[in-house]
Amino acid sequence: MPPVNVAVIGSGFMGAAHVDALRRVPHVNVVAIASVDRPRAQELADQFGVPHVFGDWRELLARDDVHAVHNCTPNNLHFEVNKALVQAGKHVLSEKPLTMTAAESAELVRLAREAGVVTAINFNYRGYPLVQQARGMVARGELGDLFVVHGHYLQDWLLYDTDYNWRLESSVSGASRAVADVGSHWCDLVQFVTGRKIVRVFAHMFRAHETRRKPRVAVETYKGKEVGAPQEYDEVPIDTEDGAFVLAEFEGGLRGSLTVSQVSAGRKNRQWIEVDGSKAALSWNQEEPNTLWIGRRDGPNEQLIKDPSLMDPNARGYAHYPGGHPEGYPDGPRNLFRNLYRYIGAGHTPATQAPDFPTWEDGHYEQLIVDAAMESHRTGAWVDVAAGGAK
Ligand code: NAI
Ligand code: SOE
């Protein structure tokens, strides 16, 4: 299989994570990094042996030696950058959220189909071995009829009013923050594991801080926790939610609930899912991803440890080391990128083969869920996840 040449846009938290993961994917060359932070992009390029660095991502568009691009920019650039890339004929992996509105994400899906390129979105938590195992167990009916899905996504990095990042600015991040930023991962994960879409939501959003102290210098994602309270700041109003409670109805009448919060002390990235069925239940926690809990009524509960020899064939390929050797956050994207480039390398398209990675269609559907949650919060009513735009 000839190698696929990949460029990464953005050199922040995720730009660096993508380069690192891509370097561990077979048949992929990372050929360029583009970022407005050129010095940091150069530093990454030197570290990982990447030949080209650009200050402007548009320089990638006309290059025939760039086949695919990863968009790791802040949310407000996703639509413009993703659109230009597919129109230039590039395969694109976008960071989540796909765009800031469902109208934009519908347009992107349409444009990508017209261009005939392969698109993906980084709902990276699907890439964990035990998440794949959980999906297989549900699909094989090991849980029986599904009754309830519940869980939460809790963080503390925005707990204090001195914590700041571009995600707190709706013009950069979007009208929803906690739900779109991390609740979207949870919704994607439970839909992936159960194989059922969320069709209706009832949401109540809340804000712990009406104003925050914005430092006069930019603070990278999570770094505010290390540097402490800013010495020089402006007090600014906040118009996005610090958290939410979301009730959800899934296809087939399955019901669920999600609590999401970015102000829960001690919780770092506690993304926790539980699926309860008529025969058994399962739960998985992103902070302890190498254990899958299986609950039973008439027998002892189990803790399945990530160990390829104990896992199903569908999940085994996502584990790269024997049992007792934990695999973690950097390995999820690596697995999804592997699937993506295996698919592109084999010349597949969605018309010829179902993708084994999250796609822009999934990203668009998430955007519809986020929009429905915001409308529900505004109106105090259940809202259907509209099937508007491209499905
Ligand atoms: P960040 O602030 O750490 O990095 C953003 C990068 O984009 C910076 O290097 C910045 O210089 C660059 N940039 C800004 N404007 C640009 C432009 N016009 N052209 C080129 N580069 C530009 O942000 P972070 O945390 O890396 O987030 C980036 C995206 O990744 C967001 O959409 C976020 O939602 C997503 N994300 C996803 C995660 C996941 O687990 N799937 C984890 C963290 C972030
Ligand atoms: C910050 O809340 C963040 O980095 C999100 O942007 C990511 O998508 C999530 O995976 C971890 O937390």
- The pLDDT of 156-173, averaged and rounded, is 97
Distance CA 3, CA 297 (A): 50
pLDDT given for residue 390 in this prediction: 47
CA angle 349, 354, 355 (to 5 degrees): 80
pLDDT given for residue 391 in this prediction: 45
**Does residue 226 carry a pLDDT above 80?**
no
The two beta strands, 52-54 and 281-285, are unpaired
Nearest listed ligand to the Cα of residue 271: 2
User: Is-above-0.85 flag for pTM?
Assistant: yes
Nearest listed ligand to the Cα of residue 79: 1
Q: Which of 71, 123, 157, 181 to mutate to test ligand 2, by most ligand atoms within 8 A of the CB atom?
A: 181
What atom in ligand 2 is closest to the CA of residue 14?
4
The backbone torsions φ and ψ at residue 52, rounded to the nearest 5 degrees and listed phi first, read: -120, 140
> Is 155 touching ligand 1 by the criterion CB < 6 Å?
no
Distance 347 CA to ligand 2 centre (A): 32
Peptide bond into 97 cis (omega under 30): yes
**Does residue 318 carry a pLDDT above 60?**
yes
Q: What CATH number was assigned to the domain covering residues 129-324?
A: 3.30.360.10
181 alpha-carbon distance from chain centroid = 8
- The pLDDT of 213-238, averaged and rounded, is 82
The one-letter amino acid code at 319 reads A
Nearest listed ligand to the Cα of residue 220: 1
Distance CA 224, CA 246 (A): 28
pLDDT given for residue 388 in this prediction: 52
**Does residue 279 carry a pLDDT above 90?**
yes
Same fold, 4-125+337-357 and 129-324: no
pLDDT 10s digits, 354-377? 999 999 999 999 999 999 999 999
> Is 73 touching ligand 1 by the criterion CB < 6 Å?
yes
Q: Could you tell me which residue, 221 or 191, shows the higher pLDDT?
A: 191
Q: Could you tell me which residue, 391 or 49, shows the higher pLDDT?
A: 49
Reported as a pLDDT band with limits 50, 70 and 90, residue 48 is very high
Nearest partner of 370 among 190, 188, 184, 96, judged by Cα: 184
pLDDT 10s digits, 300-313? 999 999 999 999 99
The one-letter amino acid code at 135 reads R
- The pLDDT of 208-235, averaged and rounded, is 83
Q: Whose CA is nearest to atom 4 of ligand 2?
A: 221
Distance CA 4, CA 67 (A): 6
> Is 182 touching ligand 2 by the criterion CB < 6 Å?
yes
Q: Which of 8, 9, 20, 36 to mutate to test ligand 1, by most ligand atoms within 8 A of the CB atom?
A: 36
What atom in ligand 2 is closest to the CA of residue 165?
1
Distance 11 CA to ligand 1 centre (A): 7
Cβ-Cβ contacts under 8 Å for 20 (sequence gap 6 or more): 48, 330
Q: Whose CA is nearest to atom 41 of ligand 1?
A: 122
**Does residue 197 carry a pLDDT above 50?**
yes
Q: Which of 269, 336, 366 to mutate to test ligand 2, by most ligand atoms within 8 A of the CB atom?
A: 269
Q: Which CATH superfamily is domain 4-125+337-357 in?
A: NAD(P)-binding Rossmann-like Domain (3.40.50.720)
pLDDT given for residue 383 in this prediction: 97
Q: Whose CA is nearest to atom 10 of ligand 2?
A: 182
> Is 221 touching ligand 2 by the criterion CB < 6 Å?
yes
Distance 11 CA to ligand 2 centre (A): 15
Distance 181 CA to ligand 2 centre (A): 6
Cβ-Cβ contacts under 8 Å for 246 (sequence gap 6 or more): 179, 183, 201, 202, 203, 257, 258, 259, 260, 373
**Does residue 348 carry a pLDDT above 80?**
yes
Nearest partner of 116 among 78, 87, 82, 79, judged by Cα: 87
Q: Radius of gyration over alpha carbons of the chain, in Å?
A: 21
What atom in ligand 2 is closest to the CA of residue 158?
2
Distance 283 CA to ligand 1 centre (A): 30
pLDDT 10s digits, 109-164? 999 999 999 999 999 999 999 999 999 999 999 999 999 999 999 999 999 999 99
Q: Where are the domains of the chain?
A: 4-125+337-357, 129-324
Distance CA 163, CA 144 (A): 44
- The pLDDT of 39-56, averaged and rounded, is 98
On the 0-12 / 13-18 / 19+ scale of CB atoms within 10 A, 278 is exposed
Average pLDDT value over all residues in the chain:
96
